[in-house]
Amino acid sequence: MTDDQVQIVLVAAGCAVGVGAVGLLAAWLVRHRSIRWQLGLIVVVSIGSVLAGVVAVSRLMFISHHDWEVVSLVAAVAGVVALVVALALGAAISRWSETLRQGARTLDLHGSYVADPRGPSELQALSEELARTSERLAESRLREARLESSRRELVSWVSHDLRTPLAGMRAMTEALEDGMAADPERYHRQIRVEVDRMARMVDDLFELSRIHAGVLAINPEPLALVDLVSEAIAGADPVARAFSVQLGGSAEDGVEVVADPAGLSRVLTNLVMNAVRHTPADGTVEILGRAVPDGVELSVRDECGGLSPEEMDRVFDVAWRGAAARTPQPEPAQQSEAQHGAGLGLAIVKGIVEAHRGVVEVENVGGPAGCRFRVLLPG
Ligand SMILES: Nc1ncnc2c1ncn2[C@@H]1O[C@H](COP(=O)(O)OP(=O)(O)OP(=O)(O)O)[C@@H](O)[C@H]1O
Ligand SMILES: [Mg+2]
């Protein structure tokens, strides 16, 4: 490079840095304005540095006055065209971002947004993110609506479930008071059964509210599957006998699970009681415990005849009960007592299992048709 060229480069760089610095200051001043301002500024800075450089080198006599005029004119015309292009581009970007803003507003108002494939990749990415947020929002709205409706159902069913036995007990106590009861023994027994049932329901509601509030206390300790299964069988045996249901089960020897003893035993009791209630006389209910690759599985299999897809979808909902459970048949006292649930058992099972970071699911099984509730707990 000749000395002259070095000097020209230095002068041009000096001018460009000077104009660039002013440009940066201007950019800082208009930083909150429309993107059109920033794009226009880029054009002004580039043409400005060219012109400043040309003026400076012409002063140093590197180019003639005539050349200086020609270059300046060309730069000025190029500058005007570039400015128009920049403004058009700025307008397009503003339009795209306005579309995005409208989209965000519809997301706020209607909860849905469809991704817009136009605009530069950054805006497209933003638009896709908005669409994903909209999907997540829709899911959580659905969940909330379902929770709300099950809460409403819970209140109406629980009040019904409390009012009916209370009315019955009132009638029975009145008859006892008046000495009109034909069989006072039976009335006393029935009142005790009803009181027990209502007390259990209040306990369940309390447990459920603790689960929902996230304050369920879990004190995990290693538990042998064999013990869990045999305790569950022993606990449910009297009810199974009353229903003439064969209750059996087994677990792999030496397999342990780390869980809250009271919580897990409640899970098994609720599942086994359900299974016994929904299995016809002479049917079989089987509890199995085994180790699986990512933890431990406890399953309760019954002969309920299978559940419909809608029933499978709802069994774990709070206060949901199958149609058969809502219209109890005339049965022996103990049987009808056990048949009459509040629809809280499986919601409690799910809450306790999830508090252990496990999952509970139900599937239909064949020959004889029934269903299997499977609890998977991490090892
Ligand atoms: N093993 C099962 N076989 C067939 N249906 C079942 C079984 N377990 C539960 N269900 C259905 O799911 C419903 C909800 O069960 P859940 O245990 O939550 O309530 P419940 O047994 O009716 O009352 P609760 O357990 O509060 O006394 C039952 O009413 C029944 O229709
Ligand atoms: Mg139950």
The pLDDT confidence band at residue 157, using thresholds 50, 70 and 90, is confident
Q: Does residue 339 belong to any structural domain of this protein?
A: yes
Q: Does residue 245 belong to any structural domain of this protein?
A: yes
Q: Ligand 1 pocket check: which of 274, 311, 350 to mutate, most ligand atoms within 8 Å of Cβ?
A: 274
Query: Per residue in 273-312, pLDDT tens?
Result: 999 999 999 999 999 999 999 999 999 999 999 999 999 9
Helix (H) and strand (E) counts in the chain: 11, 7
Considering the chain, what percentage of its residues have pLDDT values greater than 90? 56
Write the CA distances from 172 to 7, 131, 167, 327, integer angstroms: 113, 61, 9, 22
245 Cβ below 6 A of ligand 1: no
Query: Per residue in 234-273, pLDDT tens?
Result: 999 999 999 999 999 999 999 999 999 999 999 999 999 9
CATH number at residue 302: 3.30.565.10
In terms of domains, do 93 and 241 share one? no
172 Cβ below 6 A of ligand 1: no
Please, which residues bridge with residue 376 across strands?
Answer: 297, 359
208 Cβ below 6 A of ligand 1: no
Indicate the residue among 65, 81, 110 that finishes a domain.
110
Q: Does residue 194 belong to any structural domain of this protein?
A: no
Q: What's the total number of domains in the chain? A: 2
57 Cβ below 6 A of ligand 1: no
3-state secondary structure of 70: helix
Range of the domain at 99: 3-110
H/E run at residue 286: strand 284-292
341 Cβ below 6 A of ligand 1: yes
The ligand placed nearest to the CA atom of residue 308 is 1
Indicate the residue among 95, 110, 125 that finishes a domain.
110
Query: Per residue in 327-377, pLDDT tens?
Result: 344 344 444 444 467 888 999 999 999 999 999 999 999 989 999 999 999
User: Using CB atoms within 10 A of its CB, is residue 140 exposed (0-12), middle (13-18) or buried (19+)?
Assistant: exposed
Q: Does residue 264 belong to any structural domain of this protein?
A: yes
Query: Per residue in 42-82, pLDDT tens?
Result: 999 999 999 899 888 888 877 888 888 888 899 889 999 99
In terms of domains, do 101 and 231 share one? no
The ligand placed nearest to the CA atom of residue 302 is 1
Indicate the residue among 64, 91, 110 that finishes a domain.
110
Q: Does residue 64 belong to any structural domain of this protein?
A: yes
